[in-house]
Structures are given as structure tokens and as C-alpha cells.
């Protein structure tokens, strides 16, 4: 499996062009944070998990695994990445893990995209 690498934004040092267009500073940490969330959504299985969870309050990991043509450890890997991106949360009930969509995060991501228009 290919590993994705996050490339940090770099500063432009050196001579500037003669343009006088007023542009504001970009909050690099915010852009990198948004990029990490969008990268998490960039995988078809992870996007499918988010879509599946959007239709339910919480789902057991075994129910999520049944919806995809991959093994349960792969689903757990994808769920971990979604947790790290703050897109899902987990509630442990005995031996089972129930996942729910962080709707606040999804709404913020959607609003950030709308704000680009």
C-alpha cells in the first residue's frame, strides 16, 4: 500500500514580483489541518465509511466491515485514520467499538469548501 506524504507549505524567500495585488496571509497550520481532513476523505473506502455513518447514529465496527469488500483489520485501519482526522469518534461497549460521525467536523469541512466559491 502506498504511503501518503504531507508536504508542508514553504515560505517564498527572495525577490518578489512587481504585482501590487492585495493578498492576505495564509494560515499555514489551518491549511495543513484542512488538507489532512480532505486527505482522509480522499480514499474511497474512508469516504464510503463517512457516507455510511451519515445515515446512522452509531454503527458497530462489524457492521461497517460487512459493507465493504475488505477485511476487518483494513476497516479498523481506515477508522483509525478517520479518528485522527477528527471525522469519527468511537464509543467502546465491552468488546465492541461503535463509531459515529463527527457531524460538526463534516459541516466545518463543507463550509470551508463553500467559502472557496
* Global pTM value: 0.77
Q: Given this model, what pLDDT does residue 25 score? A: 75
**Alpha carbon distances (Å) from 57 to 44, 52, 53:** 21, 10, 7
Report yes or no: 70 and 45 within 8 Å, Cβ to Cβ: yes
Residue range 73-98, pLDDT digits in tens: 999 999 999 999 999 999 999 999 99
Q: What is the pLDDT of residue 2?
A: 55
Specify burial of residue 82 (Cβ count, 10 A radius: 0-12, 13-18, 19+).
buried
Task: Kindly list the domain boundaries of the chain, sorted by start residue.
Answer: 29-106
Give the Cα separation of 47 and 1 in Å (integer): 18
pLDDT over threshold 90, residue 58: yes
Topology at the third CATH level for domain 29-106:
Arc Repressor Mutant, subunit A (1.10.10)
pLDDT, tens digit (0-9, with 9 covering 90-100), for 13-52: 666 666 666 667 788 888 888 999 999 999 999 999 999 9
Amino acid at each position: 500500500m502506498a504511503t501518503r506524504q504531507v508536504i508542508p507549505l514553504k515560505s517564498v524567500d527572495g525577490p518578489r514580483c512587481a504585482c501590487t495585488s492585495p493578498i492576505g496571509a495564509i494560515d499555514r497550520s489551518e491549511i495543513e489541518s484542512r488538507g489532512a481532513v480532505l486527505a482522509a476523505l480522499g480514499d474511497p473506502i474512508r469516504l464510503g465509511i463517512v457516507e455510511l455513518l451519515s445515515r446512522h447514529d452509531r454503527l458497530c465496527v462489524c457492521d461497517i466491515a460487512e459493507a465493504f469488500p475488505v477485511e476487518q483489520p483494513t476497516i479498523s485501519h481506515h477508522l483509525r485514520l478517520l479518528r485522527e482526522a477528527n471525522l469519527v469518534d468511537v464509543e467502546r461497549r465491552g468488546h465492541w467499538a461503535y463509531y459515529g460521525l463527527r457531524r460538526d467536523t463534516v459541516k466545518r469541512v463543507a463550509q470551508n469548501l463553500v467559502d472557496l466559491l
